[in-house]
Amino acid sequence: MQLVPTLIQALTAVDTAGSLSLRYQYGPIFAMLGFALVVAGAVFSLATFLGPKNPTPEKLIPYESGSPTTGAKHVRLSVKFYLTALLFVVFDIEAVFLYPWAALYQSLGWQGFVEMFVFLAALSIALIYCWKKGALEWET
């Protein structure tokens, strides 16, 4: 497997035409990447080495000026939140699919209509199922 050397060769090959090389196609991206790494690294290392450090207990708490935290850090959340969020995602995606379909409704014709109908029918059955199984009830 000589993938890496080949890629390096492809990116650094100097040929007579110059402008045809991959180096010129992807060069700016790699230059940008390198620049970003250098700048970010420089900022962080300068702050680490040059900045004054006088830690006090107040400075080390998460919210320096907030009210003191009370109770346990990990609150147990009801699984109902998860279920509701999941159902929301499913039907949200459905709505997202409807937009491009509506925009292209004329050109898709009957085939598009039938396909979307099948899709909506499947989701309606899922909704009925969730409803009957009590997934939409908060108090149980």
Partner 1 sequence: MKDLLLYLLPIVILFIGGFTLMLVDAFQKEEGGLAVPTAMLHFAAAAAALALWPYAGNAADLARAQVAFNGWLAFDRTTLFLDITIALGGGLTTLLAGSYLAEHKLERGEFYTLITFASAGCMMLAGATDLIMLFIGLETLSLGVYALTGFRRTSARSQEGALKYFLLGSFAAALLLYGSALLYGMTGHTDLAGIRDALGRAVEMPAIAGQEGAAQFVAVQQTVRDRVTILAMVLVVAGLAFKVGSVPFHMWTPDAYEGAPTPATAYMAVTVKAAAFGAMLRVLIGVFGDTSGPASLAGGWPGLLVWLAVLSMLIGNLVALAQSSVKRMLAYSSIAHGGYILAAFVVAPRAESLAGGGGSVGQSAAAAVLFYLLAYTVSNVGAFGALILAGSRGKEAVSYEDLAGLGKRHPAVALALSFFVLSLAGMPPTVGFFAKYNVIRSAIEAGYPWLALAVVINSAIGVYYYLRVMVKMYMHDPQPGAVRAEPMSSPGISLTLIATAGMVLALGMMPQRFYGYALEAVKLAAAPIAAAPADAPPANAN
Binding site for partner 1 (CB under 8 A): 1-3, 6-7, 9-10, 13, 15-18, 20-22, 122, 125-126, 128-129, 131-133
Nearer to partner 1, 116 or 126 (CB): 126
The smaller minimum CB distance to partner 1, of residues 70 and 111, is found at: 111
| Cβ at position 6, least distance to partner 1 in Å | 5
Q: How far is the CB of 110 from partner 1 (least distance, A)?
A: 13
In angstroms, what is the minimal distance from the CB of 73 to partner 1? Answer: 24
Select 39 or 122, whichever has its Cβ closest to partner 1: 122
* C-beta neighbour count of 103 within 10 angstroms: 10
The least CB distance from residue 118 to partner 1, in Å, is: 10
Cβ distance to partner 1 smaller for residue 53 or 133: 133
Q: Output the CA torsion sign for 56, 61, 66, 67.
A: negative
